Structure formats: C-alpha cells, structure tokens
Structure 1
Amino acid sequence: MEDMQLLVRPKPFLDESLESYLLRLAEANFIESYRLLSGAVKEWLLEQDHEAGGAFPLDLATANIWHARQSSSFRIRAFSLLEKLTDNEDLPLLALSLRHSAADFCGGYRALARGGVHIPRCFIRKSTIPVCPLCLSENIYIPQAWHYQAYTACVRHGVKLIDKCPSCGESLSYLESEMIGSCRCGYDLSLAQTIQADEKNILLGKLITCEETEFPGPLGYMSSISIRNAALLYYCIISSVNVEDELEVYESLLLAMDFYASWPFRFKEILSESFDKANEILIRPYNKTPISFAIGSCLPASTMIKGMRQEENFILSELFGCLKNIVENNPKSRVGNRGDMLLTIVEAAVLLRTTHEQIYLLLESGYLKAAGRIKIHQKVSPHEPTFYLRQVVELAESRMPSDFGVVATYLPHR
C-alpha cells in the first residue's frame, strides 16, 4: 500500500459537494464504489499516520468533515494526506468540505462553513437529497446547495427539484446509493420530467446561494449569505419551529420571506402582540417577571452570528428601538410596568452588544444594579433574571463604549 496513488484527478466544479467529488474520484480511477476507495485509503493512511487513518470515514453519508465531532482535526489531517495521492496538483478535498465553525447562529445554534459562507447545521438535509434533472443532463455531479433544506428549486433552470424516482418511487439520496445520475433501480434521473417552480421557492434558493438578489427589504441589500441564513433561522426561532422537522422548517422559511419583505412592520406587530398577550396572563408584577415571559427567545437569538459587525445586525437594532420605546412610553413609577421587566446577563450582554464578562464588571462597578439582593461571594447565573430592562436601555443610551469593534467595551478588564 506504500505506493498507492490516485492517478486520475477529475476537475471539481466550484459548487460541487465533497461527497459528489469523492464518488467521481473513485469512478475516474476505476474504483467501483466509495466503500472500496475508502477501505483502500484507510488501510494506506493507517500505515502513514495511525490517528489520521482512524478518523478517515468509510461511509459516504458521514464522509464530510463536519460529521466528525471529537476527531475533526484528525479527519482534516487524513484528507490533507489524501490530497497528495495524485501525480498532478493536489486534490481539492478540503476546499469542498463543510466544517464546523465557531460562528454560532442566534445564541447557540451550531454553524457549518464552506468557502467563507456559514450555514446553520439544522438547515442541512438529513436523508433525502433531491436533484435537478436539467442540471444532471448538463453535468453529472451534485452541487452543495442540494443539501440545504431551503433549496427546493433550481435557480438556474427555474424548476422544482425532484426527491423521488419517477420510475420506482424511492426517495433519492446519492449518499446512500452512491449513484449520482441514476436511481438504484437504474432509472436515468436526467430524463425525469420537470415542473416549473414557484417564484418564491426560486427566490429562496437565490437568497442562500447568490450574493445578488432582487429580494425586497434587508435580505436584499445584505450581500452576506451568512447573515441571510442567520435571519432565516431567527424567524424559525421566534416562530417556535422545531428545527429538527424538515417540513416544518421549509414551511417556516417560506413564511420568513414575507416577514422580511415587509420588514420591520410584521416584526413590530409580533412584539406588540407578545407583550399584550403576556399582560393578559401575567401572574407576578412586571418588576418580577422576566422579559422572556413576553417575547421568548427574541432577544438572545438576535445576536444572529457571533462576531458580526454591529451595523450589520438589523434585527438587534430594530429590537433595541422597540424596547427603548417601551421604556420611554412606560416611565418609572411606584407600580412596576413593562419597562421594569427583568433581563438575564445573557440578554443584557446582547442588548449592550458586549460580553458576559463586561456585564459582570458593570455590575461590580455599580453601573448596573441587580433587581434583587445578591449573596456575598455568589456569582449570578448568566440565565437568572437580574436587571431591569429600563436600566439596561438607559445605560446603552447614556454610556458610550470605549471602542467601536465587533464587541463593545464599557470598562477595562481587570
């Protein structure tokens, strides 16, 4: 196995998925399946680097780097070694892969990245991978976009993707069948009849794949696909969608387009309706009620993408404006009102666009005061309702941070 080489290196398509390229790589080198290719490669890797060989995936369905959690660095090393197995220039395996990203979405939803674009992991299809027959008739490969739940219509041909074989009715997944252009039954998928796609589905596909779109509202003028993905996920969160249910997510994404096309009007209505509903079922006084009782995850989820520039976060800017109006329209009085609802350290940090550490410093220095008594030597839990909304909004308005970076700094670190 020491002289193992992959003599033929097919040229990758720019938008091709890693799994698709691995199948074409095996075929170009006259290897019948990915399973045979991966078995040979794993055996060779074990001789070269035991850790990397142990992390190399045998199944195509779990081949991509993001599937490796604890051993992702070893898998990257394994693919790096595999890239050298050609006489020509190196293979593009790492460039085509999806990897874990530290840029979490909406306060805790895991992100994957490829080519500088981040996508929520929950937006990746889990089983069926639909195809565009017209694309397959031109070039037999699978674009990465076909793996995304939001991509249901081909943006090039304007037709619906098909998810079942027209001949046998089986759900399509090249990850399981290891066949790109045909079904297990042998049917040539490029011959399947196509149906014109709805314009909304085409536009949704463009939002997550094309930098330039004709979409109205903030998603149209935001060229960052990562930010659009974050905004789509945010709508799912505030709509209490089960992100593990693909059909529920897809239906929510279509509704999200109407939501952002009329931005910020529907958003303001939702917030107003949420506060009114909370008022009807309020049990404790406002000054003892967490704001999440009224608006759920609207506030912590408005971070959108960890590390994004403040001026790009149109959701948080609008949300802050709405909360500021609540405080101004409900002046301080003897009886608690909406302006006195409680924020956690997590929520205060989001609203002040800073870190949890900064919130603790502001608390210790007296710029923020806890709504209740804190025991000596006790550290407040990040998720415990601690600060009045009014106080946090007033601090944001009156105290300018010492810098204008991604994360605001109010006090020097100790």
Structure 2
Amino acid sequence: MKFLKRIKLFPDEALESYFIRCAHSNGFQKISLFLQSLSAFISLRDKELKGALSASLSRLNLHKAHNSSAYRVRAIKLLEEFCDLQPSCLLRVAVLRTNRHFGSYVALARSNVLFPNIMLREHVIPVCPLCLQERNYIRFIWHLKPIQRCPKHQVKLIFNCPECGNDINYIQSENIELCSCGYDFRQIKPSEKTEESMSASLFESSENADKLSLEFGKYLWFSKHSGVELDDDYFLPKFNRYFSNWPDNYLSYLKTQESKAIEKQTSRFNQISVNDIWCEQLQNTRLVTTNRVNNLVLDQLANYFIDLVNRYPKCQHANIADTLINQVDSALLLRTSVEQVFRLLEDGYLKVKFGVPTEAIYKPHIPIFYLREVIELTQAQGSNTSMFEHMISAW
C-alpha cells in the first residue's frame, strides 16, 4: 500500500501534525476515519497489529500506548513504508516513554532528547502565525510549557483564537491552521518581538540531545526551586536571569538557610535533619538529570557542604555540620545507590547516630548518619568530583 499523495515530514514536526496533513492531502476530513483505514490495512498486513494503532489522534503518539506499545512501534514502521519515508523517520519525531526519571517525573524522549513528562502541554497547544505562514505544520516545541515565544521569530505564541476566544489545540480541532470556528490563524498579526534563548533548531540535530536533556532538567529544577511555573509567561527570561548569576545566588540561598538555622536553633544539631534546614535541596537535585553525574546543582550543593564541614570542625559540642542525613540523600552525595550506602554501613565505612533503633537502619528515608562523616567519606573517595558513579569499598 502507498498513499495517493505522499508528503514531506519535517524534522521538528509533531507526529500528530504529520498525520493530519497526510489525511487532508489524501482526501480525509475526519482524522478518525483516516486512522481507522490505516489500522485496517496494518492488521491485514500483520494480524498481531490489530488495535495497535489508536483511532484517536490524541492517543496516537507512542508514549500514550499502554500494553501494545511494542506493537505500535511495528505499526509505525509499516506506516513509514506507506508514506514512502526513510526508515525510523516517524519514530524520530514520536514521543517515547523511557524507564528513566527526572526525580519523581517520568522521562519522555524525542529524537534522543529526554524531558520530564510534566513539561508537555495537554489542553492548549499554541501556534506561531509567522511559522504557519512559512510552512503549514505544527512544530513540536509548541507542545512544551516553557516555550511561550517563537524561538525563530521572537514573537509571543498565540494561545486563544482571536475570533471565538477558544483555546487553540490542533489535536482537538484536527486542523493545523484553522480554528473550529473557521478562523485562519495565519491572519493573526503577532505581538512585538521579545528575546528568547531557546534555539529554533531544538530537535533538528542529534548532536545537541545530551545538552538539551540537561537543559530541560535545569528548567524543572528551577521551577521547583523558585516556585515559577513551567508555563509562566516569562519562565525562560526568569530562568536566564537566575542562571546568569549562577552559582552565587544559589550559594547565597544555602548560606541564608544556614544562618536562619543557627539563629533559630531549638534542638541540638546532632538531632536535626539536613532537610529541616535546607528544605529537601538534596532530593530536588534529582530533578536536574536522569543520572548521577553531570549534575551542576548537586555539584554546588556538595561543594557547599564540604565548605560547611571545613568552617565548622568537629568539637565537643555538636554544630551545624553534625546534622543528620538519611541513606537516600547520602547516596546522592556519594554518587551511588542506596544499596551501596547500606553496604558501606555494613563494612564500617559509615556509622549510625548513637541510639538509632535497628529497624530504622532498614528505612532509607530516616536520618541516621552524620552529615560530617558522609562528606568526609565523599572527599576520601573523590566522588565529589562527579567522576565516580560507584563507591569503592572492600567488597
């Protein structure tokens, strides 16, 4: 099978956009009918693929598949043949699920770029009228919450139809340039240009995949740290201003928390958790990247704790460097796993706070170690340099 009219796929195009254009070019006004026809042809070719392709445009992308995700990949490969495309073209523009995480958020992938699932827009997908005038297709970056302005034309994206006021969402309307009321978005005169740092070729080059994945992790961390929503109108300008003064502003924040803790101390520091003072900063570093290395926030936090231990040496009375830390956070500082931290405890590299009940040792979120001793072990192993993903121990 080949489509009567085969159209070009753009490297920065959303998968759903391509199927809309393909359906309209081949005489289908209802995308559901087009997808049902495709599904019928695919199941004739391979009986195992019956039902693998969703008949709903909103469920078409691969990250929306459930138990049939592997079959849907096979179905997409057949569609590449129908569309007369090069192998893996459609897979490269599809959004895929992964087994990796940015903290508690599942990492999705497109063109080898990882980004947290919370970053995808659901209800509104804005457009740039100038982009549509040049090439009538949906750019995938418009799906991402931090993108409020067109990276190419530096104008604000259009979120609502000027005619009827409804939210713009081409997946719901099944039309790229027209609102459901019939208004043509290409007629819109955009607002004045504003500066935007995101590159227009966001997903066009595989060479930038690792760099972009780290950038998206930084977006997520900044959103949680600063309280600025990912879809805030000025998220990227605020992000850029913050990181233009990195790491001084972050270190200033950490030292402010330190001063407050000393000023308002109500218990001995060897009975206070690190998280009571620095507000889950260690756990939040997991938002930056999907692995234990190349984490610029964790690097700065580890260096700060090293400096803290140096400024508050061991003495007769407990000080702020003697605060308590749990196994999960210790694993972050040591760039290793919780299992290996437990093994370090068994081998005598770490010791627990006096009086900790045995059952608490098996609960990784209970603070049982002294921050000072974890930091000293970190320095002894060299893991604060981000060079070691696994601890070195006798076993």
Q: Residue 188 of structure 2 aligns with which residue?
A: 192
| 2:98 partner SS | strand
**CA 1:372/1:72 → structure 2, altered by over 3 Å: closer, same or farther?**
farther
Structure 1 residues 221-300: aligned runs within 5 Å: 224-240=211-227, 246-247=231-232, 251-279=234-262, 282-300=265-283
**How large is the Cα RMSD of the aligned pairs?**
2.9
In structure 1, stretches of 5+ residues that fail to align are 213-220
Q: Residue 202 of structure 2 aligns with which residue?
A: 209
Amino acid corresponding to residue 75 of structure 1 in structure 2: R
| 1:393 partner SS | helix
Equivalent residue pairs, number: 391
**CA 1:113/1:382 → structure 2, altered by over 3 Å: closer, same or farther?**
same
**CA 1:56/1:405 → structure 2, altered by over 3 Å: closer, same or farther?**
farther
Deviation at 1:260, TM superposition (A): 0.7
Q: Give the counterpart of 1:31 among 28, 32, 38.
A: 28
Deviation at 1:394, TM superposition (A): 0.4
C-alpha separation in 2, matches of 1:207 and 1:93: 20
Amino acid corresponding to residue 159 of structure 1 in structure 2: V
C-alpha separation in 1, matches of 2:257 and 2:166: 44
Q: Residue 314 of structure 1 aligns with which residue?
A: 296
Structure 1 residues 92-171: aligned runs within 5 Å: 92-105=89-102, 107-171=103-167
C-alpha separation in 2, matches of 1:368 and 1:327: 16
**CA 1:87/1:80 → structure 2, altered by over 3 Å: closer, same or farther?**
closer
C-alpha separation in 2, matches of 1:345 and 1:16: 44
Q: Residue 218 of structure 1 aligns with which residue?
A: none
**CA 1:406/1:58 → structure 2, altered by over 3 Å: closer, same or farther?**
farther
Identity %: 32
Greater CA drift, 359-368 or 60-69: 60-69
**TM-score, normalised with respect to structure 2:** 0.89
| 1:55 partner SS | coil
C-alpha separation in 2, matches of 1:406 and 1:30: 58
C-alpha separation in 2, matches of 1:239 and 1:280: 24
Deviation at 1:280, TM superposition (A): 5.0
C-alpha separation in 2, matches of 1:28 and 1:54: 24
C-alpha separation in 2, matches of 1:379 and 1:160: 53
**TM-score, normalised with respect to structure 1:** 0.85
**CA 1:297/1:242 → structure 2, altered by over 3 Å: closer, same or farther?**
farther
Q: Give the counterpart of 2:334 among 336, 348, 352.
A: 352
C-alpha separation in 1, matches of 2:122 and 2:63: 13
Greater CA drift, 317-326 or 88-97: 88-97
Q: Give the counterpart of 1:340 among 322, 335, 342.
A: 322
Q: Residue 366 of structure 2 aligns with which residue?
A: 384
**CA 1:313/1:283 → structure 2, altered by over 3 Å: closer, same or farther?**
same
Deviation at 1:208, TM superposition (A): 9.3
C-alpha separation in 1, matches of 2:59 and 2:319: 52
**CA 1:25/1:103 → structure 2, altered by over 3 Å: closer, same or farther?**
same
**CA 1:181/1:325 → structure 2, altered by over 3 Å: closer, same or farther?**
same
Contact 1:16/1:96, CA 8 A, preserved across alignment: yes
Deviation at 1:238, TM superposition (A): 2.1
In structure 2, stretches of 5+ residues that fail to align are none
Contact 1:39/1:58, CA 8 A, preserved across alignment: yes
| 2:50 partner SS | helix
Amino acid corresponding to residue 237 of structure 1 in structure 2: K
C-alpha separation in 2, matches of 1:75 and 1:371: 52
